[in-house]
Structure 1
Amino acid sequence: MTTSPLVVDTFQQGTIFPILPVAPILSSANRDWDGIHVGYYRQPAWETPEATFLQHTITIYTGQPVNVELQAEGRWQQKTYTKGVVGIYPAFAPHIVNWNDEIEFIEIDLDPQTLSRFVDNSINIDCYKIIPQSAINDPLIYSIGMALKTELESSGGGDRLYAESATTMLAAHIVRHYSTQTSTLKEVSGGLPKSKLRKVIDYIQTHLEKNLSLVELAALAQISPHHFARLFKQSTGFSPHQYLLNCRIQAAKSLLAKQDLSIADIALQVGFHDQSRFTSIFRKHTGFTPKKYRDRI
């Protein structure tokens, strides 16, 4: 007698528990991140039931070496997972996984629509196929996973523009290197047209207090987030996220000259909902905490 695989939607809270026994240590479930879910897990020895995910799943192993068995497409594979090893598991592909010791990993789940919407909307998601990978070394995916984990550890709710920029880079990398669409993904160059660049910059400077989205900014330029991020950097020398931070710091400097405003109020006005995060980023950009900077004016 056979049973159908469990269907798991990782974007819905709680659906992971039939698959994993312990809740994630960190999760983006309550963050306003578009088209992606990120979790950081530490799990005991376990065997999952057969399951199929509605999202493409990327795992980045971060713990001590552990033996892992994976059943996919009716075949079993045995691997030793070491720190930095990456796995890529396509949506809708049933699999079973078991491991013999405590395991620690970052899991990134990408909505299949994200690959076309973030990377290039000319991609036909009904035609391309993600090529599964197990226990590969990919330094870029590892660094993106660690950066997103660090962002989850922040207490300020997470920077949406930063998370979506990382998602866009990850999605483009997977399409280019691990899918059947590799030959159709074209790069663009030359920077943004001046009128579109001015429109985006004006929007950023007018909405510093908002948790801005890469999708939102790309829509102003009427191109995909992936192409927008590349062209914006060619035009300004900065990524959209770096440019936004620079604008926020410059605005904060001006507001610090007004002694009637508290540092907490200034942080909120320039888009930081966590004062400690504001202090950390301000010091990184200027060499001073906001208080010391104010005292020097």
Structure 2
Amino acid sequence: MQPVKSGVGDPMELHTLRAFDPHVASMAPLLLSALAAGASVNYLISAARYLAMHLVHPQSDVTQRRGGLTPEQLRTVTAYMNEHMNSDITLARLAEIVMLSRYHFIRQFSAATGKTSLRYLTELRIQAARQLLASDGNEPVSQVGRRCGFPNPANFARVFRKNVGCSPSQYRQRAA
């Protein structure tokens, strides 16, 4: 069996990423949350293999995208999303931060991340909610939703269920 050409000379060089990778940035916390929530060993091994293959093969679809936000613009926008997660974040404000029109921002963000800014923000909010639900059993679920940018408890429950596969309360019980 022939070894796979990875584009990496020495595996020890993989201790840091050469550039921001939104795929890794979004997947790594989810993998850690799955571990904390008691995911099966098979799931964790599969996810870890997938992530390892993505890291070893720099020709992935994420790194080959043309155009898109610069790494600095992407860091600026995602940092803003993280810092203002519980606020009403508008497309106009995100575009303003990186000095683009809304139209260009939509295209550039999608080209850089492979998803819309709304989808990206929703995933950030759900990830934050999962961490809060798993760590603090005393805070009401509706308050967790508000802290993560979901002012309406019914909307929070609907979006959480759609993304995670269970209600926030069920997730908290499983994580306990």
Q: TM-score, normalised by structure 1?
A: 0.36
Q: Take 2:117 and 2:163, find their aligned partners in 1: how far apart are those partners?
A: 16
Q: Provide the identity percentage.
A: 36
State which of 148, 151, 158 in structure 2 corresponds to 1:273: 151
- Kindly provide the amino acid, as one letter, of the partner of residue 174 in structure 2: R
Higher helix share: 2
Is the counterpart of residue 216 in structure 1 residue 107 in structure 2?
no
Residue correspondence of structure 1 range 115-130 to structure 2 within 5 A? none
User: Which residue matches 1:192?
Assistant: 69
C-alpha RMSD of the superposition: 0.8
Local SS of the residue matching 1:253: helix
1:284 alignment counterpart = 162
Q: CA shift at 1:206, angstroms?
A: 0.8
Q: 1:262 aligns with which of 114, 128, 140?
A: 140
Pairwise mapping of residues 98-113 of structure 1 onto structure 2 (< 5 A)?
Answer: none
Tell me the equivalent position of 2:6.
none
C-alpha deviation, 1:260, in angstroms: 1.8
Partner of 2:173: 295
Measure how far apart 1:273 and its partner are: 0.9
2:127 corresponds, among 250, 258, 263, to 250
Which has the higher relative contact order, 1 or 2, with Cα contacts under 8 A spaced 6 or more apart?
Answer: 2
Superposed displacement of residue 261, structure 1: 1.0
TM normalised by structure 2 equals: 0.61
**CA–CA separation in structure 1 for the residues paired with 2:150 and 2:100:** 28
Provide the C-alpha distance between the structure 2 equivalents of 1:190 and 1:234, rounded to a whole number of angstroms.
6
Can you list the C-alpha shifts for 1:207-255, whole angstroms capped at 9, x where unaligned? 1101111110001110100000111011111101001100000000000
Alignment of 1:167-206 (within 5 A): 190-206=67-83
CA distance in 2, matches of 1:243, 1:194: 16
Structure 1 match to 2:103 = 226
Paired amino acid for 2:127: Q
Higher CA-based Rg:
1
Aligned residues between the structures = 109
CA distance in 2, matches of 1:234, 1:293: 32
Q: Secondary structure at the match of 1:264?
A: helix
Q: For 1:288 and 1:190, how far apart are their aligned partners in 2?
A: 37
What's the counterpart of residue 23 of structure 1? none
1:213 and 1:274 mapped to 2: Cα distance? 17
- Residue identity matched to 1:236: T
Q: Which residue of 1 is the match for residue 29 of structure 2?
A: none
1:202 maps to a residue whose letter is A
Structure 1: where are the runs of 5+ without partners? 1-188
Amino acid at match of 2:129: A
- Output the amino acid matched with 2:163: H
Following the alignment from structure 2 to structure 1, what is the Cα–Cα distance between the partners of residues 168 and 142? 10
3-state SS, counterpart of residue 85 of structure 2 = coil
Letter in 2 for 1:232: F
The 2-side partners of 1:238 and 1:209 are apart by 21
Unmatched tracts of structure 2, length 5 or more: 1-65
